[in-house]
């Protein structure tokens, strides 16, 4: 954890409390970041709630938050699913499911 990581472990944005995740990149201008999803928009925020980047998430759910590419920034894992046409398992429709990764530093 960076030495200058604030003792505050969450920020308040509107009515939401968002957990802060430390940034371990010595060249980063921020010590910690938070992730916010507002409808279909996914945003990375700094400790003050300023948007670092934002993008359309589309259909899917945040599945995990960890430093996948080991650059010191948390990355996001998005679970996606697509229903397969006319394919059933008994009475249940079948889905194609996969995970996508989003670089936490750049989106």
50, two tokens? 């300023």
Question: How many Å apart are CA 72 and CA 21, to the nearest integer?
Answer: 10
Question: How many Å apart are CA 63 and CA 69, to the nearest integer?
Answer: 16
Does the pLDDT value for residue 2 go beyond 70? no
Q: Residue 62's closest CA among 101, 10, 11, 22?
A: 101
What confidence tens digit (pLDDT) does each residue in 47-90 have? 999 999 999 988 888 888 889 999 999 999 999 999 999 999 99
Q: What is the pLDDT of residue 47?
A: 92
Q: What share of the chain is helix, strand, coil (3-state, %, to 5)?
A: 0, 55, 45
Does the pLDDT value for residue 93 go beyond 80? yes
90, two tokens? 């008994």
Please, what is the average pLDDT of the chain? 88
């Amino acid at each position: 954890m960076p030495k200058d990581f604030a003792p505050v472990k969450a920020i308040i944005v509107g009515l939401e409390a968002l957990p802060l995740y430390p940034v371990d990149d010595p060249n980063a201008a921020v010590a910690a970041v938070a992730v916010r999803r507002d409808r279909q928009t996914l945003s990375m925020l700094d400790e003050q709630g300023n948007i670092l980047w934002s993008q359309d998430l589309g259909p899917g759910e945040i599945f995990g938050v960890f430093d996948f590419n080991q650059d010191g920034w948390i990355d996001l894992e998005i679970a996606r699913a697509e229903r397969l046409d006319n394919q059933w398992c008994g009475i249940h429709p079948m889905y194609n499911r996969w995970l996508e990764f989003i670089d936490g530093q750049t989106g």
